């Protein structure tokens, strides 16, 4: 069973029980655009309490807002199927600029007009196979227009993250932003700073990892959102356009801010509350972004550790140059074990030779490793001899 088939079953069960039930929001938009929805949301006249007897497995984590997660069987790919079912509602005030303070269960018409953009305010009845449109979303979708529902300023005041979502969605779906909506985004851009770092970062991830990231960055700049969330961004847009299509978030973020001082990337990672993995990759790229400029002339002991790192391909994409081209060709030709061969000596070996652990251990091991990568030392015995020579020289 597919997720869509399961979602349709949920709608059918609700309708059979006498309730209105429709596909809602993004899944309707995506299907009208010929895309496969990432998930299916259902809007219904049934309240969470009325859903309980209809579905055996439910999660009521969002029941106070009328949202229930209905769980189903395993899907075609072995995953557990699930859909969110939300009661038609009207939102109250948004004192935190994120979520309504309270909701009132209402009708599909009122539920549609509370949503952000017309293309997200569509409903679809999978049983009757018909689109239900109270906000003009079908016409805007056909005309490739992104338009806020009702008063744009009010929609953005309710949830400031919608300012970023507008730019991301316009880029992702190749839409033109309605002039009145665009004016409101530009006027309210400074207010994006009240949104939590985690929500901003997640929105940037979705934008930066999309194939239309270049236009997304352009729109952020055009609406003066970029200077609010990434003041370190390079004025000309960095090297985003030259990145591979599958570039991940840390690389794109680096490319957007490619002209920023190296020290600033730690502040960016902290400000956006990035994961440790993202932070480590960004800081590594920032530290080594100029390392490939003279790659053909670098000794292997300096170049190979960089190329052996998991971020080496990102580094090459970030700093296009003859040096980067040299490294890309080298990576295609050389075996991974040549870049990072097992060390000739370890700390245990040094202890076996009678040396006591201490600061000199790292110096000796780093020296031996460099000579190994440069091809000067090729066997363990030669490495041991070199250690003895170095120790004799220190004692002399």
Q: What is the pLDDT of residues 176-193, one digit of tens each?
A: 999 999 999 999 999 999
pLDDT at residue 92 in the model: 61
Is pLDDT above 90 for 94? no
Q: Which residue has the higher pLDDT, 104 or 192?
A: 192
Confidence of residue 60 (pLDDT cuts 50, 70, 90): confident
Question: Residue 77 class from Cβ within 10 Å (0-12 exposed, 13-18 middle, 19+ buried)?
Answer: exposed
Tokens of 380: 């363990």
Q: DSSP assignment, residue 119? A: G
Confidence of residue 236 (pLDDT cuts 50, 70, 90): confident
Positions annotated as catalytic residues are 39, 41, 116
Decide: pTM greater than 0.85.
yes
Confidence of residue 235 (pLDDT cuts 50, 70, 90): confident
Are 17 and 54 in contact by the 8 Å Cβ rule? The answer is yes
**In CATH, which superfamily holds the domain spanning 1-135?**
Beta Polymerase, domain 2 (3.30.460.10)
- Please state, in angstroms and rounded to a whole number, the distance separating the CA atoms of residues 287 and 7: 48
| Kind of pairing between the strands at 176-177 and 145-146 | parallel
| pLDDT-above-70 percentage for the chain | 96
pLDDT at residue 98 in the model: 58
pLDDT at residue 95 in the model: 61
Tokens of 205: 């991830």
pLDDT at residue 8 in the model: 98
Phi, psi of 257 (to 5 degrees): -110, 30
125-145 b/e (C-beta count within 10 Å ≥ 16 → b): bbeeeebbbbbbbbebbeeeb
- Please state, in angstroms and rounded to a whole number, the distance separating the CA atoms of residues 147 and 175: 10
pLDDT at residue 308 in the model: 96
Domain edges within the chain: 1-135, 290-339, 347-395
Q: Mind giving me the DSSP string for 155-213? A: HHHH-TTHHHHHHHHHHHTT-EEPHHHHHHHHHHGGGGGGS-HHHHHHHHHHHHTSTTH
Residue 368: partners with Cβ closer than 8 Å, 6 or more residues away: 343, 344, 345, 377, 383, 386, 387
- Specify which residues 269 forms β-bridges with: none
- Please state, in angstroms and rounded to a whole number, the distance separating the CA atoms of residues 350 and 359: 13
């Amino acid at each position: 069973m597919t997720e869509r088939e399961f979602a349709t079953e949920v709608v059918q069960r609700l309708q059979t029980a006498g309730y209105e039930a429709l596909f809602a929001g993004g899944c309707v938009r995506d299907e009208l655009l010929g895309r496969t929805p990432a998930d299916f949301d259902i809007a219904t006249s049934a309240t969470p309490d009325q859903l309980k007897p209809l579905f055996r497995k439910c999660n009521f984590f969002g029941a106070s807002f009328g949202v229930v997660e209905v769980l189903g069987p395993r899907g075609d790919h072995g995953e557990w199927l699930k859909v969110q079912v939300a009661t038609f509602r009207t939102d109250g005030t948004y004192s935190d600029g994120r979520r309504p303070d309270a909701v009132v269960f209402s009708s599909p018409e009122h539920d549609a007009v509370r949503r952000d953009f017309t293309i997200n305010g569509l409903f679809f009845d999978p049983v009757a196979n018909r689109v239900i449109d109270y906000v003009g979303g079908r016409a805007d979708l056909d005309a490739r227009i992104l338009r806020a529902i009702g008063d744009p300023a009010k929609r953005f005041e309710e949830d400031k993250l919608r300012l970023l979502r507008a730019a991301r969605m316009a880029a992702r779906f190749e839409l033109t932003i309605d002039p009145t909506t665009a004016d409101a985004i530009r006027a309210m851009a400074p207010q994006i700073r009240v949104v939590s770092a985690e929500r901003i970062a997640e929105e940037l991830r979705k934008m930066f990892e999309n194939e239309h990231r270049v236009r997304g960055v352009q729109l952020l700049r055009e609406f003066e959102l970029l200077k609010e969330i990434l003041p370190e961004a390079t004025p000309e847009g960095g090297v985003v356009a030259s990145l591979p299509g599958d570039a991940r978030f840390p690389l794109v973020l680096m490319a957007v801010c490619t002209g920023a001082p190296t020290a600033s990337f730690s502040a960016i990672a902290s400000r956006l509350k990035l994961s440790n993995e993202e932070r480590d990759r960004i800081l590594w790229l920032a530290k080594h972004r100029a390392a490939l400029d003279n790659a053909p002339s670098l000794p292997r002991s300096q170049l190979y550790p960089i190329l052996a790192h998991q971020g080496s391909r990102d580094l090459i994409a970030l700093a296009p140059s003859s040096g980067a081209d040299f490294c890309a060709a080298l990576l295609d030709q050389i075996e991974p074990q040549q870049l990072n061969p097992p060390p000739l000596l370890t700390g245990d070996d040094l202890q076996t030779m009678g040396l006591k652990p201490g600061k000199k251990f790292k110096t000796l091991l780093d020296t031996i490793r460099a000579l190994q990568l440069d091809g000067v030392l090729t066997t363990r015995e030669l490495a041991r001899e070199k250690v003895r020579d170095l120790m004799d020289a220190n004692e002399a």
